Amino acid sequence: MAEGVSADPGTVGLLHTVPALAATFDDLLRASTATPRRIHVADAWLLDTARREGVTPAVRDTVLAHLRNLESVGVDAVLVTCSSIGEAAEAAAGRVRVPVVRVDAAMADEAVAVAAGPGARGRIRVLATLPSTLGPTGRLVERAARSAGRPVEVTAELVADAAEAQDRGDRERVDSLVAAAVAHAAAGADVVVLAQASMARAAALADVAVPVLSSPHGGVAALLRVLSDRPD
């Protein structure tokens, strides 16, 4: 490479189910040392359907279609930013040729490392505002523990009334409810996991003695690692 010519930072695709979160992830990627080109796809129908009916065959097919479309326009990797469709993304990943990263995967690994670390009691508390997210993230953390061979206890619970406040557009109320739930969960846990990327802002409001993990930073870091490992 000629002196003064920077390496191609690559192109990433991001699949969102909450359109407003696109700006959050775009900011995180723009702040990275090697800023990749970003292609965002936002499909609110996926989360709406997952909330009403679960992750249906139609949801799985649509996730795969989005991944294939991103692959067709030349992305080097894809970050799926919604935990509710994380398992559908994993299933679809085997049917495309580009790496697919779950936004909450790195967070799950970190939670297990904290809970199984020196002086810890092996207790992880997972919080979510949506039932559709609670199961996928709880199972992901449990799987991470099995893969690491670490004996941990994973407890998952919903933040009461937060989904209704979110549906009303009352973001301050949501953050307040999540922060209060974090404070309560932290009393009996080594680490608190926030299952949805949209909960990240509330983490700063909770003044607790244990780590409170949210997915955006870890998900972006994992995406950038995959990008840096791509062949020249």
**pLDDT range class, residue 206, cuts 50, 70, 90:** confident
Q: What count of other Cβ atoms lies within 10 Å of the Cβ of residue 185?
A: 24
Rounded Cα distance, 128 and 131, in Å: 7
Q: How far is CA 84 from CA 101, 156, 176, in A?
A: 14, 14, 22
Average confidence score pLDDT of the chain: 92
Tell me, what's the pLDDT at 161?
A: 94
Question: 201-222: string of b/e by CB count within 10 Å (b at 16+)?
Answer: bbbeebebebbbbbbbebbbeb
Tell me, what's the pLDDT at 2?
A: 41
The torsion angles phi and psi of 2, rounded to 5 degrees, stand at -70, 145
Residue 144, pLDDT above cutoff 50: yes
In the three-class reduction of DSSP (H, G, I as helix; E, B as strand; rest coil), residue 101 is classed as strand
Residue 201, pLDDT above cutoff 90: no
Kindly compute the dihedral angle of the four CA atoms of residues 195, 198, 203, 205, in this order, to the nearest 10 degrees. Answer: -140
Structure tokens at 220: 């972006």
CB 40 within 8 A of CB 105: no
Q: Would you list the DSSP string of 13-60?
A: EEEESSTTHHHHHHHHHHTSSS--EEEEEE-HHHHHHHHHH-S-HHHH
Report the predicted TM-score, pTM, of the whole model to 2 decimal places.
0.91
Structure tokens at 89: 């993304």
H/E stretch holding 193 = strand 191-194
Among candidate residues 85, 83, 143, the one with its CA nearest the CA of residue 111: 143
Which domains are delineated in the chain? Answer: 11-103+218-228 (3.40.50.1860), 105-214 (3.40.50.1860)
Tell me, what's the pLDDT at 3?
A: 45
Question: pLDDT digit string (tens) for 51-73?
Answer: 999 999 999 999 999 999 999 99
Question: pLDDT digit string (tens) for 98-130?
Answer: 999 999 999 999 999 999 999 899 999 999 999
CB 15 within 8 A of CB 80: yes
